[in-house]
Amino acid sequence: MAAEKDWTSKLVKAMLNNSTESISVAYLAKINKLSPPEAELQPLAVIGGKKQNVVSKARFLVLPLVGKDVSLNLDYRVGDNVVAIVLDDDDMYFTNKSTFKVDSNRKHAIDFAYVIGKVADATDFKGGG
């Protein structure tokens, strides 16, 4: 009976490991190409000795900031390192106008990405660096 419990726990543990390995939540990437309102991203993490696939259509978020000294223009450039979050479902048919259909069973895929910000350098702070 102990052997069965051990086999069952190993199976459950393997299933959990496999399911969590395929879930992406957020990642660091470099902007390879800008085509507003989208960008091509190269994820920076090397996994198993291999670069990850390029994400060709990442979108950007605009924060609803208000103030006389605040610019709502996005200031991203090719070469910037950014943080991207991953949606639960595909956004292939999202147009920013209304509801959209989901045409895939894939969940948390790295290419359902939204850039939420640039990784700061010392020069990004007031007073320089």
Whichever domain contains 113, its CATH number is 2.40.50.230
Please say if the pLDDT value at position 99 is more than 80.
Answer: yes
pTM reported for the whole predicted model: 0.73
Instruction: Examine residue 18 and state whether it is found in any structural domain, yes or no.
Output: no
- Across 107-112, average pLDDT: 78
- Across 79-94, average pLDDT: 86
Gap between the Cα atoms of 128 and 18, Å rounded: 45
What is the chain's alpha carbon radius of gyration, rounded to the nearest angstrom?
A: 19
Residue 94 dihedral angles phi and psi, to the nearest 5°: -75, 130
Domain span at residue 32 reads 23-121
- Across 76-89, average pLDDT: 92
Instruction: Examine residue 1 and state whether it is found in any structural domain, yes or no.
Output: no
Domain count, the chain: 1
Q: Which of 36-40, 63-67, 69-73, 106-110 has the highest mean pLDDT?
A: 36-40
Side chain identity, residue 63: L
